[in-house]
Amino acid sequence: MLVGKESFCDFRTIQEAINLLEQSPSNEMETLTILSGTYEEEVRIYRSNLHIIGIGQVEIRMGRYARERDEAGEEIGTFATPTLFLGGSHLILENLNISNTAGQGEHIGQAVAVYAHCDQTVFRNCTFKGCQDTLFTGPLPPAPKERLQFGGIPLKEHHAHYGQLYQHCYIEGTIDFIFGGATAYFEDCEIRSLRHHKNHTSYVTAASTPQGQTYGYVFDHCYLTAEPEITPVFLGRPWREYAKTVFVDCKMGGHIDPRGWDNWGNIANEKTVCYQEYGGSDEIASLRQQRVPWADCFEARAEEWSKEQVFKGVTFWKSKEK
C-alpha cells in the first residue's frame, strides 16, 4: 500500500490508508510505504502487525497543544495532542520525521509528537521533534496527580508489557521530552536538548516506571547534545517514584548539570528511583564526585543492559532493516 501525492499512489493521506488497513484482521504483517513529502495530519493507529516505511524526507506534522480549548472551552490536556498515536503491537517504523509544531510558552504547555502506547515496537532512523513532552512511551501511570483523569485519545487495548526499541533516532525537546512507563531501549540515538523559552532548567527524561518492572529507560551509546547557551540540563527526574533510567557508554555535552539527576521536589523519591550511569573509568571517577549521592556510577558495562537481556523472552528487536 502506497501513500503519496502522485497520481499512482493508493492514498494521499496516511490516515486514509490506516483506516482501510484497520478494517481487516491484523494477524499478519502489512507494509505501508510513504513517499517523500510533508503530511499535515494527526495519525491514529490502533492496528498491530504493521511496518511503515518512509521514502526520502517524510514529515508528519501537526501543532496541537495541552492548553488548546475544546468545544466546551476546556483545555484538551497533554494526551490529546500527539501528532502520531500508536496503540498496537509488533510495529516497525522506519525513516519518519514526526513533529509537533506547537512550539513552547505559557499558553502552549505540553505538546506531544509521538504517543507510543505500544508493545514490541521498533523505531529505526526516525526523528521526533517538539518541545515539552515530545515522546511519550506508554503506559500511563495508574492515576494523574493533578486532575481526575488523563483524558486524551481513547485507549482500545492495554498490553501486558510495553517494549520499545529506538535505533539511530533523533529526539529533541525541552522539559521531560522523553517520558512514560515503557521499557524503552535507545541505541545510537542523538538526544538533543533545546533551550527553554524562559531559559528555565530542563530535563531529558521523566520516567514513570511501574513498581516491580525490571527495566525502564536504557540509553546505550547515545549522544546528548544541546543548543548553544542553554541552562544546565538534568538527565532525568521521576514522574513517578519508581522511575528507572540508565545511561550506558553515552557521550554527554557540557550542558548536563554536574549533579545529573533531580528528585522532582520530593526527597522520598531518592529512596525509590534507580538512576545509573556506566562508562570509562576516568569519566566515571569524575562523575562520582559531582553526581547526587542517591544515583550510581559504574566503571564497567554490565551485561544486564544488553538488548538480549532487557528484551529477554521476545524477538521483535531482531527485526532487520528493509
Whether the predicted pLDDT of 281 surpasses 80: no
Comparing 36-45, 231-240, 285-294, which segment has the lowest mean pLDDT?
A: 285-294
Confidence at residue 286, expressed as pLDDT on a 0 to 100 scale? 80
Confidence label for 54 from pLDDT (cuts 50, 70 and 90): very high
The three grid cell numbers given for residue 170, joined into one nine-digit string: 533523533
- CB-based burial of residue 300 (10 Å sphere; 0-12 exposed, 13-18 middle, 19+ buried)? exposed
CB 212 within 8 A of CB 180: no
- CB-based burial of residue 144 (10 Å sphere; 0-12 exposed, 13-18 middle, 19+ buried)? middle
Whether the predicted pLDDT of 186 surpasses 70: yes
What average pLDDT is seen over the chain? 95
Q: How many contiguous H segments (helices) and E segments (strands) does the chain have?
A: 3, 26
Q: How many CB atoms lie within 10 A of CB 236?
A: 29
Query: What SS3 state is found at 79?
Result: helix
In Å, how far are 14, 75, 99 from 103, measured between CA atoms? 23, 17, 10
Determine the CATH number of domain 26-318. 2.160.20.10
Q: So which residues are the catalytic ones? A: 176
Confidence at residue 322, expressed as pLDDT on a 0 to 100 scale? 61
The three grid cell numbers given for residue 68, joined into one nine-digit string: 488548546
pTM: 0.97
pLDDT digits (tens, 9 = 90+) for 203-221: 999 999 999 999 999 999 9
The contacts of residue 201 (CB under 8 Å, 6+ apart) are 231, 232, 233, 234, 257, 262
Mean pLDDT value across residues 179-197? 97
Distance (Å, whole) CA 30 – CA 8: 19
CB 94 within 8 A of CB 322: yes
pLDDT digits (tens, 9 = 90+) for 107-136: 999 999 999 999 999 999 999 999 999 999
Query: What SS3 state is found at 17?
Result: helix
CB 245 within 8 A of CB 236: yes
